[in-house]
Structure 1
């Protein structure tokens, strides 16, 4: 009679592991089968950004913007980690571009198109992420989200320090452009 108890014990201990593996497989497959707009998203967004945010009417002084991006976040081998990084960058871009302090010379209609594009793509990326977020945390740098948050905090501090001027926003526009290029790198890692 002890043999059946041992068999059930093994099944109980193996089930959580199997569940984690199936969840990882399902989310990986979800990332690989995103719609065709998936690969054009960053470039479409760059085009909308160009329409939305022309250069300021008056030339800006050459100010060095103090927000280097932690490029190590772009080098990972896990599709879910790439999706989580891209989603977190896009969440922060959405929050930044949703600010009411954007320059008056920016096209508001194009800005709303860009925000809708961001929101739509963030929802697509959510499908790539496992329901159990601990899987993501165990696969990447421990301070992934903190590094991205720190980068965007520097951007917000820069805007605040320069009173949300058109020139400060022009620096942010350049960072947003670079962020879309980084998201493109992450999207290619998800495939």
Structure 2
């Protein structure tokens, strides 16, 4: 019975868009933009991370939920969207401009915005009316809590340069996971769209 339901679901998804794909193809370019964002984050550091070791904190990144293979496509897109949206919001705070090279910061913001624009339409296509419900479920809520912890940390540390450096390293970790998730989504879509 489960196999029949899986096959029916695959048929429904295959019929969604042109060429038999979901109409939400995470192109290679989308993944490349994610990798560029990681590079920009790597270049943004002004302080040596060793200088800020005393400020380290475990933000409890929900790696198992994000990288675990149990996420269905709609959930994975919802989690990815949430991670990118929260990162975009974080680097758009007023105080983030003081901590970074403005050229690199603007490139990062632009890259995150490009990814979000593409994922906005993907989220609607893949989740339909369930989109808002997915935002209130396990993995997406875990991502929201994770970023809330980062914002609280920055406030507690007075948005110091060291606090931003610790956050930069942490966001590199989460965006690295998001690139892995994007690659997995591309494979899921490719599996559905290949004959």
TM-score range, shorter chain: 0.7 to 0.9
Q: How many aligned residue pairs are there?
A: 172
User: By how many angstroms is 1:64 displaced?
Assistant: 3.1
Q: In the alignment, is residue 134 of structure 1 matched against residue 127 of structure 2?
A: no
Equivalent residues in 2 for 1:18-29, closer than 5 Å: 21=12, 25-26=16-17, 29=22
Q: In the alignment, is residue 155 of structure 1 matched against residue 155 of structure 2?
A: no
Q: In the alignment, is residue 172 of structure 1 matched against residue 170 of structure 2?
A: no
Unaligned runs of 5+ in 2: 1-7, 187-195
TM-score, normalised via structure 1 length: 0.76
Matched residue, 2:113: 119
Question: In structure 2, which of residues 44, 47, 51 is the aligned counterpart of residue 52 of structure 1?
Answer: 44
Question: Residue deviations 1:108-139, cap 9 Å, x none?
Answer: 1211111011011111112222352416847x
Does the aligned pair in 1 maintain the 2:78–2:131 contact within 8 Å? no
C-alpha separation in 2, matches of 1:145 and 1:77: 11
User: By how many angstroms is 1:174 displaced?
Assistant: 0.6
TM-score, normalised via structure 2 length: 0.74
In the superposition, relative to structure 1, how do residues 105 and 172 fare at CA in structure 2: closer, same or farther (>3 Å)?
closer
C-alpha separation in 1, matches of 2:106 and 2:113: 10
Q: Where does structure 1 differ by over 4 angstroms across 4 or more consecutive aligned residues?
A: 135-138
C-alpha separation in 2, matches of 1:80 and 1:145: 11
Unaligned runs of 5+ in 1: 1-16
Question: In structure 2, which of residues 182, 186, 189 is the aligned counterpart of residue 187 of structure 1?
Answer: 182
C-alpha separation in 1, matches of 2:86 and 2:62: 15
Does the aligned pair in 1 maintain the 2:13–2:22 contact within 8 Å? no
Q: Partner of 2:55: helix, strand, or coil?
A: coil
Which structure has the highest helix share of the two? Answer: 2
User: What is the aligned-residue RMSD (CA, Å)?
Assistant: 3.2
